[in-house]
Amino acid sequence: MQPAELSAVDLVTAVRQGDLSAVHCTEAFLRRIEALDGSINAFLKVDREGALASAARIDERRRAGGPIGPLAGLPIAVKDALCTANLPTTCGSKMLQGFRPPYDADTVRRLREADAVIVGKTNMDEFAMGGSNENSAFGPVKNPWDLSRAPGGSSGGSAACVAADMAPVAIGSDTGGSIRQPAGLCGITGLKPTYGRVSRRGLVAFASSLDQIGPMARSAADCALVLETIAGHDPGDSTSLCDEVPRYTEMLEQPLTGVRIGRVRDHYAEGLDPEVARGVEEAFAVFTAAGATIHDVELPHAKYGVATYYLIAPCEASSNLARYDGAHYGHRSSQRTGDGFESPLLEMYCRSRAEGFGPEVKRRIMLGTYALSAGYYDAYYAKALKVRRLIRQDYLDAFRHVDLIGGPVSATPAFRLGEKTGDPLAMYLVDLYTVATNLAGVGGISFPCGFTRSGLPVGFQLQGPALAEPLLLRATDRFQRLTDWHLRRPKAIA
C-alpha cells in the first residue's frame, strides 16, 4: 500500500482499521518531501522529528485500544501564516524570520486534537500578498506540473505540496483568492469557506475583514473531511460564526437534480484564455448531465472587484502591519547612522521596516496608508466600502435565482515564473475572478476541469451563499465522480 496514492479519506480509514500505521504513512510523505522539495521549494520548515513522534503516539494509543481522533495519522501541511507553537511562523518574510509563536492557531489546535500529523510549514507570498508565490523572502515555489511556472499564490506552497503528493492535505488562507487560484493552477481542490466559518485566531493578519482559512486537497471529499474538524465557533475570534458545523462528509451523496448553477456572461470577456473557456464550458456540461440546470446571471459590479479589493486590502494591511516596527514585533535593524533622522528611535523604526519587508508588502502598505490619510479617506477607502456593499448585494440578488455560481478561477493557466513580476497591475489582475467572493463574504471552491494542450491544469470555480459549504462540496464531489481530472498527477516530478 503506497500512502501517496491514497486519498485523505482512505488514509484515515486505513489507519483507523490498522491496515496502515500512522508512522508508516508519515514516513512515506516525509520521503517524498525529501526527494522532491529541493526542486519545488513548497516547504519552509519540515518537522520530521515532531511528525514521527506524533504518529508514534497515535499508533501506540490505537494498539492499546484507546480513542483516536477523526484525522488520526493524516499528514497535513500548514501555511506559514498560521501560528504553530513548536515551529517557526515567518509568513514568508524576513520580518518574522525565526519567530516561534507561544501558541497554536485555533485551526492548528483543532487539527492536533483530531490527531492529524503536522509535517511542516509551507512557503507563501510574503504576508499573503501576491498571486504567484514569487514574493516569498525564501524563494519562489515552482509548479509541479511545469517547474518553470508559478503555482499561484499566496498559498502556493500548500497547493504545490498537495499536487506533488508531498502531503495529502494542506491548510491555506484566502484573502482574495489565495486558496482557490493556486488550487486551480496546480490541479487540486481548494475551499474558501464563508467568512467566519473557520476561526482566524492565530492567522497572522493581512486584511482582517477578508481573510479566511480553508483546506486544500485532491478532492472535495478530502476537503469535507478536514473542514468538519477546523470549522466551528471560537470564542477567541469575535468574527467566528456560532452556527452548528454540519457533517459535510455525510452530505456528499445527495444528487444535484434541480440544483441551479449560474453562469456569468461577463466572465467570457477579452483576456480569457480559449483553452480555459473550453474547459469551463465542458464543466458546465458535466453539471448538466448530473441533473443541474444552468442559468445566466449578472454580477454588474464585479468588474470593480479588483479595484475595490486593492483599496480595502492594502488599507487593512497598512493597519495590521503597523505593529512590525522592530520594537514591539519583528526584525530589528542593528544599523545606526543618525543621518537624516530626527531620533535614533525613528531611525530604528524606518530601517527595521525597510530591511524586514519586501517590495510588494511595502507597495501595499504605502498604498493603504495613502488611501487612509486625511483628505483621501473619503475619496478612496470610504468609496471602496460602498462599492463592496454593491458587490455583496449583487451576490444576494443572484442567489435569489440560482443556488451556485460557476465560472473560471483564473483567466489563464499557470504563467511562467518572472512573467508578471515587473508589472504589478498584471499580477493583480490574476485575481479577477476570485476577489469578489471575499468582498461579499461568501464561500467558494475551485477544482480542475481539464488540461491545456501543453498539460497545464484548468480550474473551475463554484461560489455559493453564506454557509453553503455543504452544497459547494456536494456539487464538486459529484463532478469528481463523473470525471478524473482531479486524479491526474504531474509528470514533471513523477
In the chain, domain spans? 3-257
Quote the pLDDT of residue 1: 62
Quote the pLDDT of residue 494: 61
Query: What separation in angstroms does the CA of 328 have from each of 215, 324, 325, 332, 432?
Result: 32, 7, 6, 9, 36
Question: Which residues are annotated as catalytic?
Answer: 79, 154, 178
By the 8 A CB rule, do 488 and 451 touch?
yes
By the 8 A CB rule, do 459 and 446 touch?
yes
Instruction: Work out whether strand 457-464 and strand 293-297 pair parallel, antiparallel, or are unpaired.
Output: unpaired
Q: Print the SS3 string covering 116-172.
A: CEEEEEECCCHHHCCCCCCCCCCCCCCECCECCECCCCCCHHHHHHHHCCCCCEEEE
Query: Taking the complete model, does pTM exceed 0.95, yes or no?
Result: yes
**Nearest CA to 135 among 459, 433, 329, 417?**
417
Grid cell listed for 6: 491514497
Quote the pLDDT of residue 178: 98
Quote the pLDDT of residue 328: 86
Q: What is the mean pLDDT of each run of 10 residues along the chain (494 residues)?
A: 92 97 98 98 98 98 97 98 97 96 98 98 98 97 98 98 98 98 98 98 98 98 98 98 97 96 91 96 98 97 96 98 92 83 88 96 97 94 98 98 98 97 90 97 98 98 98 98 97 70
In order, the DSSP letters of 430-491 are GGTTTHHHHHHT-EEEEEEEEE-TTS-EEEEEEEESTT-HHHHHHHHHHHHHH--GGG---S
Quote the pLDDT of residue 115: 98
Quote the pLDDT of residue 190: 98
CA distance 401 to 295: 9
Quote the pLDDT of residue 337: 79
3-257: what CATH class?
alpha beta
